[in-house]
Chain A
Amino acid sequence: MRPDEVVVSEPFAEAHRLKPGDSFDAILRGRKRNLQVVGAALSPEYVYAIAPGGLMPDDERFGVLWMGRDALAAAFDLKASFNSVTLSLLPDANAKDVIRRLDGLLSPFGGIGAYLRADQTSNWFLESEIAQQKNMSRIMPAIFLAVAAFLTNMVMARLIQTERREIGLLKAFGYGNWAIGWHYAKMVLVIGTIGILMGSVIGAWLGHWNTELYTQFYRFPFLLYRPGPAGFVVAGAISLGAALAGSLAAVRRAVRLPPAEAMQPPSPPIYRRTFAARTVLAGALDEPSRMILRRIIRWPVRAFLASLGLAMSVAVLIMALQWVDAIDSLAESVFERAQHQDATVAFSDLQPIGAIREFEHMPGVLAAEPYRFVSARINHGHLVERQGIIGVPTGAILSPVFDVERGRLEVPPGGLMLSVKLAELLEVKAGDTVAVELLEGRQPRVSLPVLRIFETYIGKPAYMDMAALNRIAGDGRVISGLHIRVDASSRTTLLTRLKDTPHIAAVLFRHAAIDTFYKTMGETILIFIGFFVAFSMTLSVGVTYNSIRIALSERARELATLRVLGFSRWEISYILLGEVGLLTWVAIPLGAVIGFGLAWYMTSAFETELYRVPLVLRDATYGEAALIALAATLACAAIVRRRLDRLDLIAVLKTRE
């Protein structure tokens, strides 16, 4: 490689449309250089590439460049040196011990502490992503499979019930119960096998698609969809089991009867006047409504399960939609309420505190507030967390310590303020003492009291009074960077000035951070929500369609009779659809309760050290979920209802069931 040739990270190259042969300016250690792009590359270390102090990967504003070792050494005046080393250990090595000795070895040269692969940002991010997927893969298919099993069971039972007369006939011919059972089992096996094959193909295709999506999102060079047989076997076995159980129960009911009776139409279900029927309220009902209610009361389990299926669809919707609210609330808390700076300037090396003045006088800078950051390891008993400490000046207002409920908090002098997550990981309470090893400069070790604990949605930060932190670190009164407030009209001028200012590692604009946050979240969330809306629609359409179809097949005679009596098509539609309608109304509050539970479960399952999404459920979310569910039910009902128009009155009445 020639000295000015670089390979750029692929996302960065794509964001800037950089092709081999293109060139751009960069400031290397305060000196502007023109660099030539010779290629784009991906690195597992930067699957999740975040700028120092950033929250999310921002492909446009943060990228990785690889250049020739000698050229880099020359640019930074650091011949024959290195600033990062990666090791692979023998299988039986004691990683903790290696880290301890490595730190001892490297600290004289400014080593800031080794860490395990598990703590590497990209790795750790992906691991937690995989953990979330695992959580999700446990709960969602379970819901879906349960509803599907219920539907299959219901449909198969009804299918066999219509064969009752044939079963009676077979018995009359002398077939035994087992023979008949086996005959129908074969039928169900054929239907079930076709269904399972179709489901497997569609499932495999969806799995493939999902994997593809992931590969693109994380830019994995490849990610293979290699489903084990377990998923197919479990799903197939449960579906087939439900189908067989439903149909064989119906067969059993039929073969238990003497053949003569089985060949007769089933004796009509026995209805009884319940207590409720005698109340005053019951008198106010019209007969069609009474028919709807009596049917529900007659088969309460079936009605409840159907309602539960619909409720699940509402619940899944609520869970998916609340995610939007939660993300909004998270962003609002982090970007609007906790931070008031317009930009953060991070220095490449520590600067004396006096450097503030230089920035205060730049065009458009309204206010500047310094901070100090020190990499550190915090120990409590046998627990260790690698977590840098942020030093905040007294009376900080631009970027103070912020508790999601209590708001801005003052940092008490002489001790640490830990986030709840960090306190949990270290098992400390306010008042405990922790051992802190700073990993920079003279690397002092001190015992510090934990003075306060606060809640935050992002990361697991630790704060300290800046002056106190500087005293412990012993580097004098220095700062790592500045938070600044900028006059909106001078932003471009300021940015140009900052680009030419030495010692600056990064400039992070808050509004850019918000944009990236929403862009990244937007992409993932839209896929996520889209998937769940589809999932929920499938549930509600499945339950609605099957319930109505079964009701129609069971009640065709009743409905035809009503038509003969002069009821209009709309009036009998009311009787047919009223049941599902009523079940939907029951399902909505039920779904709201389950949805709350599901959302709660998901937020706690999604809790990582990186971020915690708050459980935020607006009333409107319940409303939207209810409306979407209702719309699905209505659309589906409207389609099935059309069959009523083709109801053949005479054919139905001529036969005895």
Chain B
Amino acid sequence: MEKDASATALQARDLIKIYRMGTVEVHALRGVDVDLRDGELVVLLGPSGSGKSTLLNILGGLDRPTSGSVVFRDRELDMNNARTLNLYRRNHVGFVFQFYNLIPSLTARENVALVTEIARDPMPPSEALAMVGLGDRLDRFPAQLSGGEQQRVAIARAIAKRPDLLLCDEPTGALDSKTGILVLDAILRINRELGTTTALITHNAVIAEIANRVLYFADGRIVETRRNSGQRAPSELAW
């Protein structure tokens, strides 16, 4: 698949993030440039504390950089405007976290409906759940689902609004490899079928093989970018 020709979905320039704790300064990002192309699947790898989550949160409008810019579809995001960021998240970004963060009082279908109710052009909740292979678990509450199933509900919830960006922070971190593969399958399927630009953080170098591109992080910087010649299917992976 040739992605180079396609348009840039998201462009970040010279992102710097400094956490101040009293007199101590933590440089989480020390000038990061990233381009995410339309429909691309990017994996972020790197040691703990290297700034991966910080970058993803900034790209998704959850956090503000200390300096630097984020341009989404040729428009710079006003990082100081909470309303703009909220609308950006609402209309364009889907998040998946290590912990599923489902609403315990709502069933799988209702958890997805939560998002489709406020989205512009959503798919029906049942369709989103079918895409992640949970067409038969619609009316279960989170407590009645396994961890992998819960994570797939979270994915369905993230993609039901047909986001432009899907940002996943260690989505398989809490799962065993068999379940993890199911989850990755779901993400890959969405990336392919909906053309959703996807960024995925992992500690597992094996998982990087499903990506178009791999960004290596160290100490707040992208130290290496590798382009995979061919993507591997999650089912071919083992860890």
Contacts and interface: CB of A to CB of B under 8 A. Distances in A.
A294 B106 contact: yes
Contacts of B103: 291, 558, 561-562
Interface string B47-59: 0000001000100
A270 B141 contact: yes
A566 B143 CA distance: 24
Contact of A649 (B53, B62, B118, B142): B62
Interface stretch (B93-101, B179-187, B208-216): B93-101
Contacts of A290: 105-106, 110
Contact of B114 (A287, A294, A653): A287
B139 A273 contact: yes
B101 A566 contact: no
Contacts of B97: 653
A77 interface: no
Task: Using C-beta atoms within 8 Å of the partner chain, give the interface range for chain B.
Answer: 20 to 34
Contacts of B157: 565
B115 interface: yes
Q: Is the interface of A mostly helix, strand, loop or mixed?
A: helix
A565 B89 contact: yes
A357 to B, nearest CB: 87
Contact of A269 (B63, B86, B104): B104
A137 interface: no
Nearest to B94: A565
B114 A566 contact: no
Contacts, number: 80
B143 A650 contact: no
B114 A562 contact: yes
Contacts of B62: 564, 649-650
Contacts of B105: 269, 271, 290-291, 294-295, 298
Interface in B146-203: 157
B118 A268 contact: no
Contact of A270 (B89, B101, B110, B143): B143
A286 B115 CA distance: 11
Nearest to A559: B103
B104 A565 contact: no
A272 B62 CA distance: 33
Nearest to B105: A294
Interface residues of A, number: 33
Contacts of B90: 565-567
A561 B104 contact: no
A568 interface: yes
B143 A267 contact: yes
A327 B95 CA distance: 64
B69 interface: no
Contact of B143 (A268, A571, A649): A268
A480 B117 CA distance: 84
A287 B57 CA distance: 26
Nearest to B98: A656
A566 B110 contact: no
Nearest to B163: A566
A557 to B, nearest CB: 7
B126 interface: no
A650 B101 contact: no
Given A271-B141, A291-B106, A567 B101 contact: no
B141 A566 contact: no
Given A557-B101, A650-B62, A565 B115 contact: yes
Kindly name the residue among B82, B90, B91, B118 whose own CB sees the greatest number of chain A CB atoms within 10 A: B118
A650 B56 CA distance: 11
Nearest to B57: A650
A653 to B, nearest CB: 5
Contacts of A654: 53
Contacts of B110: 287, 290
Interface string B68-104: 0000000000000011001101110101010101011
28 contacts: A268-B104, A268-B142, A269-B104, A269-B143, A270-B141, A271-B141, A271-B143, A273-B107, A291-B103, A291-B105, A291-B106, A557-B101, A562-B114, A564-B62, A564-B89, A564-B101, A565-B95, A565-B114, A565-B157, A567-B86, A567-B90, A568-B83, A569-B86, A649-B62, A650-B62, A650-B63, A655-B99, A656-B99
Given A287-B114, A569-B82, A649-B62, 11 more contacts: A269-B143, A271-B105, A271-B106, A272-B141, A561-B101, A564-B89, A565-B90, A565-B157, A568-B83, A569-B86, A653-B101
Interface of A: 267-273, 286-288, 290-291, 294-295, 298, 557-558, 561-569, 571, 649-650, 653-656
Q: Shortest 9 CB-CB distances between A and B: which pairs? A: A566-B90, A268-B104, A294-B105, A287-B114, A566-B89, A561-B101, A271-B141, A656-B99, A271-B105
